[in-house]
Structure 1
Amino acid sequence: MLELLRPGGFIMIPLLICSILALAIIIERFYALRISRVAPAATTNELWRLIKKKELNSRRLKAIQESSPIGRIMAAGLSNAKHGRDIMKESIEHEASQVVHELERFLNPLGTIAVITPLLGLLGTVIGMIKVFSQIQLAGVGDPGVLAGGISEALITTAAGLTVAIPALIFHRFFIRRVDEMVVNMEQEAIKLVEVVHGDRDIIVDEGGEQ
């Protein structure tokens, strides 16, 4: 590892730190943004079943609230349903904003890593080229091998920066897209809940859940 870092100079240290942070964020977000964790079908199916059979009580509502992020949103709306449609919608929106904030956790740092690592790599290359030209001033251009070696070492930081930035950018876009899809699905379920509770929509439940 040290043999790979040494030619690139001190710029390789922040690049290494960025690569470790990016990998940790990617692994954590893959775990946190699973559909089965954020918006499991079992939660919504159970909620619709309880509403249909009028078996929803405070204990079961609390269990739904603690089961998943979508459960928190639905429970927030149901807890304020008696205060009218507008208050119910406001409570859902308030809870949903907190849920979305949690879903987007660490995505800004990941995007920042994708932006700054190519710049760090370029900075390392510029510093390396300055050193090369300093050698030319001192020793001239009599040994092309020395110059070629110096230039190749200078370009290592650019390659390292791009190696970190490209996966970071890809996964940043991927997670943003996944969060957007989850938010749309949760919004649809929340709208359906408001309509069902206030009698604007009927719900049909079979053994597989809500239809």
Structure 2
Amino acid sequence: MFSILVAAGWPVVPLLLCSVIATALVIERFISLKSSKVLPPQLLGEAIGVSQGSIPSPDVVAKLERNSALGEMLAAGFRAAQAGGPATADDLRAAMESTGRAIAHRLERYLPALATIASAAPLLGLLGTVIGMIEIFGSQAPGAGGGGNPAQLAHGISIALYNTAFGLVVAVPTLIFWRYFRTRVDGYLLHMELAGDRFAEHLSRIRPGAGSAP
């Protein structure tokens, strides 16, 4: 493999850099998009359970906010309900949606970079191949001392095509992971939106002026 990369020449360097960056981003996204960090399955039920009749204490709300992305959104709903005066479901939903937009931006972090690498890698590979072909045919031109050896020409073309192959090797897995993470984020956002609607309806039924739980 190392000999192939050396033979491909300097155009393969940007592709190597893209592969390293893509690998790092994929690992980071796998860690950051764990269900336990974004959408714990029992959290909504627990938040509804501790707020039957009154809003929990600020300490409980702060702990909920640190729990996960969903917890951060539910905490925004608690704070909107604590702000004073009766709050409608639409008011509470709007408060959670504002926090939800910031969460969505955070969940989508680095996905554009993965998409860019998936799109650019084949083009970088093609560029390397074109540069290699130019150098090969230039060396085979009359008076260039290349001798017009067909075997040497074929070998040079095969080396030039390494760049295209390596570009595809980088692009295809990156595209697959980008599509996977994109779908996963969309699923998270849909479930969070549904959870926000349910939580807003729950909070709007809490009696106005209810004090914080001790």
Per the normalisation by structure 1, the TM-score is 0.89
Q: What is the alpha-carbon root mean square deviation over aligned residues?
A: 1.8
Identify the residue that residue 205 of structure 1 maps to in structure 2.
Answer: none
Does the aligned pair in 2 maintain the 1:141–1:147 contact within 8 Å? no
**Distance (whole Å) between structure 2 residues aligned to residue 102 and residue 64 of structure 1:** 18
Quote the residue 2:32 is aligned against. 32
Question: Deviation of residue 90 (structure 1)?
Answer: 2.2
TM-score (norm 2): 0.88
Matched with 2:158 is 152
Q: Percent of pairs identical after alignment?
A: 39
Aligned AA (1:50):
V
**Larger deviation: 45-54 or 120-129?**
45-54
> In the TM superposition, what whole-angstrom CA distance separates every residue of 1:180-207 from its partner, at most 9, and x where no partner exists?
000000001100011111139xxxxxxx
Give the C-alpha shift of residue 141 in structure 1: 6.3
How much does 1:43 deviate?
2.2
For 1:71, the equivalent position in structure 2 comes to 71
Equivalent residues in 2 for 1:74-113, closer than 5 Å: 74-81=74-81, 82=84, 84-85=87-88, 86-113=90-117
Give CA-to-partner distance per residue, 1:31-76, whole Å, 9 cap, x none.
1111121011232232121023647222111111111110010110
Give 3-state SS (helix, strand or coil) of 1:100's partner. helix
Equivalent residue for 1:171, pick from 177, 193, 211:
177
Q: Secondary structure at the match of 2:11?
A: helix
2:188 pairs, out of 182, 187, 192, with 182
Deviations for 1:85-105, whole angstroms, at most 9, x for unmatched residues? 343222211110110111001
Q: For residues 106-140 of structure 1, what are the alpha-carbon distances to aligned partners after superposition, in whole Å with 9 as ceiling and x for unaligned?
A: 10000000000100000000001101111220246
Unaligned runs of 5+ in 1: 201-211
Task: Give the gaps of 5 or more residues in structure 2.
Answer: 207-214
User: Could you tell me how far apart the structure 2 residues matched to 1:17 and 1:156 are?
Assistant: 16
